[in-house]
Amino acid sequence: MISIPHFPVDEREVEFSAIRAQGAGGQNVNKVSSAVHLRYDIAASSLPDDIKARLLALSDSRITQGGVLVLKAQQHRTQEMNRADALARLQEVVDSVAVPPKARRATKPTYGSQQRRLEGKSQRSSIKSLRGKVQD
């Protein structure tokens, strides 16, 4: 099922560079630059400011110190398919932060859960007290 992106990435803001792919592929790997490096400057993009902030706050190794998201696509044999794959992965990253996280509201533990916790602690205490030296 393909989901519709909340905030589509403008392809004009994405910088592509073709590179040679790594790994298996015979002589084709050595001759053809079919892999793609995608560079997306988050701060200079047309995304809303809250999404930019959440993107920059991600602890993702693909985001540089300068706020540029770098993706490498080399799954496919053609450069066009790798380019489409990189764009789709970029859109997935943007969609992952498009919906703001729900704020957590603190709740009190119930009376029953407090009692069960204290009962477990007292049972554990009695077990440990029996491990000591035997006294007459």
pLDDT one-digit tens code per residue, 76-132: 888 899 999 999 999 999 898 888 889 999 999 999 999 999 999 999 999 999 898
- Residue 4: pLDDT band (50, 70, 90) is low
- Residue 28: pLDDT band (50, 70, 90) is low
Mean pLDDT of 29-42: 82
What is the pTM assigned to this prediction? 0.68
**110 forms bridges with which residues in the sheet?**
none
**35 forms bridges with which residues in the sheet?**
19
| pLDDT score recorded for residue 128 | 93
Strands (E), the chain: 14-19, 35-41, 68-73
72 burial level (CB within 10 Å; 0-12, 13-18, 19+): middle
State the alpha helices, DSSP H only, in the chain: 27-31, 49-57, 79-96, 111-129
**Angle at which helices 79-96 and 49-57 pack, to 10 degrees?**
100
| pLDDT score recorded for residue 39 | 92
Q: How many CB atoms lie within 10 A of CB 126?
A: 9
pLDDT, tens only, 48-85: 888 889 888 888 888 888 889 999 998 888 889 999 99
Please tell me the distance from the alpha carbon of residue 136 to that of residue 132, in angstroms, as a whole number: 13
In the chain, the domains with their CATH numbers are 11-96 (3.30.160.20)
3 state DSSP class of 83: helix
